[in-house]
Amino acid sequence: MGEAIADERSTTVEIKDLSFTYPGIDGHPPPGSAPLIDGFSLTLHAGNRCLLVGSNGAGKTTILKILGGKHMVGPEMVRVLGRSAFHDTALTSSGDLSYLGGEWRRDVAFAGFEVSIQMDVSAEKMIYGVTGVDPQRRDELIKVLDIDLSWRMHKSSDGQRRRVQICMGLLKPFKVLLLDEITVDLDVLARANLLKYLSKECEERGATIIYATHIFDGLENWPTHIVYVAHGKLQLALPLAKVKEMSNLSLMRTVESWLRKERDEDRKRRKERKLKGLEEFDRAVEGTRVIGDPAKSAVRVVNNGWAAGRLHSTVAGEENFTFSSNRVLRQ
């Protein structure tokens, strides 16, 4: 229903015919794999507050990570502030492009992946540890998020840790901000205060915000634009006013109707496949397999195919390398 969102202000985010598939460990998409994001195009401008909506697995997080420069794509496919999101590392290091998503986590060898960071350190030390920050902006964020600087991270609740994380992510004045379900742990008051602050950033400084969420409390009039994604493809990109013209329902009920229709169509499609004797779901392609020589040969060189934090080989079908550096664990 429209790939570009019309606006007279300067273009800040531009996605052109983006296609993306997560690569296997040989660095290439597994043979036969379908693109997770396919033919996606979108343009946003200074001052836009874009609400990114879609069902679980629609590709919202992947799109935000690509915009945040966390996945490599062609330099012309994704441009932020006129520069390549992946190739121009100064975008993120300068703070012009900021990505906030998920909890603070790290990988710990032989303990697991995505382990929450809950060290014994104060909120004050973490926040004041960020250098090159405007003291007035820092004080305002501490007040907006109602942060007690004496909080200890290993004793704080998930919501309190989240407030500190958000504060640190917003300390430098961003031009483009990417939010991936970042308010999930916040209470009603903290979330309302944050949304109000973010609106001010767009209105007064011309910042652009893309916010992916399933929580619609307080969002009825917050976004300026709505972008709906399904199965990695753009379904709709319109100003909020146009969306309201299309539906007499609230924003949440409108999005709910889109998702219900999408679910019903998926169920119908699966039923038709079953009647034809096909599998109800498409068979998933194993994304961690290394196919063919020289890819497999290359992986053998890197710790014989073993990855940190795992007790098994990451190379399919090669479970017992004789010379693995982890072989002592299997003796």
Structural domain range at position 311 = 295-330
User: Percent of the chain, pLDDT > 70?
Assistant: 76
In a domain, 151, yes or no: yes
Bridge partner list, 116:
105
The whole-chain average pLDDT of the chain stands at 81
Confidence tier at 120 by pLDDT (50, 70, 90):
confident
Please give the structure tokens belonging to residue 91.
């975008």
pLDDT tens by residue, 300-309: 444 444 444 4
Q: Is the pLDDT of residue 121 over 90?
A: no
Note whether 239 and 121 are same-domain residues: no
Is residue 227 within 8 Å of residue 234, measured between CB atoms?
yes
> How many structural domains does the chain have?
3
User: Which range scores top for mean pLDDT: 57-66, 102-111, 151-160, 312-321?
Assistant: 57-66
Instruction: Check residue 279 and give its pLDDT.
Output: 78
Say how far apart CA 218 and CA 197 lie, in whole Å. Answer: 13
Instruction: Check residue 3 and give its pLDDT.
Output: 45
Say how far apart CA 197 and CA 121 lie, in whole Å. Answer: 27
In a domain, 290, yes or no: no
Note whether 22 and 80 are same-domain residues: yes
- Over residues 126-150, the mean pLDDT reads 93
Note whether 195 and 275 are same-domain residues: yes
Q: Quote the pTM value.
A: 0.79
In a domain, 7, yes or no: yes
CA 3 → CA 39, 208, 296, distances in Å? 11, 17, 40
Q: Is the pLDDT of residue 17 over 50?
A: yes
Residues 218/185/103/80 CA torsion (nearest 10 deg): 10
pLDDT tens by residue, 78-95: 999 999 989 999 998 888
Chain-centroid distance, C-alpha 21: 15
Tabulate helix, strand, coil % of the chain (nearest 5): 30, 20, 45
In a domain, 77, yes or no: yes
Q: Is the pLDDT of residue 107 over 70?
A: no
Taking residue 128's Cβ as centre, other Cβ atoms within 10 Å add up to 14
Instruction: Check residue 328 and give its pLDDT.
Output: 39
Note whether 11 and 79 are same-domain residues: yes
In a domain, 259, yes or no: yes
Instruction: Check residue 293 and give its pLDDT.
Output: 45
Q: Pick from 160, 144, 150: which is nearest to 194 by CA?
A: 144
Mean pLDDT is lowest, of 23-27, 61-65, 78-82, for 23-27
Parallel, antiparallel or unpaired: strands 112-116 and 105-108: antiparallel
Please give the structure tokens belonging to residue 285.
């392609």
- Over residues 220-231, the mean pLDDT reads 94
Note whether 220 and 264 are same-domain residues: yes
Instruction: Check residue 156 and give its pLDDT.
Output: 82
Q: What is the DSSP letter of 122?
A: B
Say how far apart CA 214 and CA 252 lie, in whole Å. Answer: 9
Is residue 16 within 8 Å of residue 77, measured between CB atoms?
yes
Residues written for the chain: 331
Taking residue 6's Cβ as centre, other Cβ atoms within 10 Å add up to 8
Instruction: Check residue 284 and give its pLDDT.
Output: 58
Note whether 167 and 49 are same-domain residues: no
Parallel, antiparallel or unpaired: strands 105-108 and 97-101: unpaired
Confidence tier at 21 by pLDDT (50, 70, 90):
confident
Note whether 142 and 276 are same-domain residues: no
Instruction: Check residue 285 and give its pLDDT.
Output: 55
Note whether 119 and 53 are same-domain residues: no
Instruction: Check residue 270 and give its pLDDT.
Output: 87
Instruction: Check residue 175 and give its pLDDT.
Output: 95
In a domain, 11, yes or no: yes
Q: Is the pLDDT of residue 135 over 50?
A: yes
- Over residues 42-47, the mean pLDDT reads 95
- Over residues 263-273, the mean pLDDT reads 90
Note whether 157 and 193 are same-domain residues: no
Last residue in a domain, options 128, 156, 172: 172
Parallel, antiparallel or unpaired: strands 225-230 and 233-239: antiparallel
Confidence tier at 259 by pLDDT (50, 70, 90):
very high
Instruction: Check residue 123 and give its pLDDT.
Output: 87
Last residue in a domain, options 153, 172, 191: 172
Taking residue 109's Cβ as centre, other Cβ atoms within 10 Å add up to 10
Bridge partner list, 177:
98, 209
CA 247 → CA 242, 255, 320, distances in Å? 9, 10, 59
> Counting Cβ atoms within 10 Å, is residue 37 exposed (0-12), middle (13-18) or buried (19+)?
buried
Q: What is the DSSP letter of 3?
A: S
Note whether 196 and 164 are same-domain residues: no
Last residue in a domain, options 172, 189, 204: 172
Parallel, antiparallel or unpaired: strands 11-20 and 208-212: unpaired
User: Which range scores top for mean pLDDT: 152-161, 200-209, 289-298, 322-331?
Assistant: 200-209
Note whether 308 and 277 are same-domain residues: no
Note whether 116 and 241 are same-domain residues: no
In a domain, 289, yes or no: no
Instruction: Check residue 118 and give its pLDDT.
Output: 64
Is residue 62 within 8 Å of residue 37, measured between CB atoms?
yes
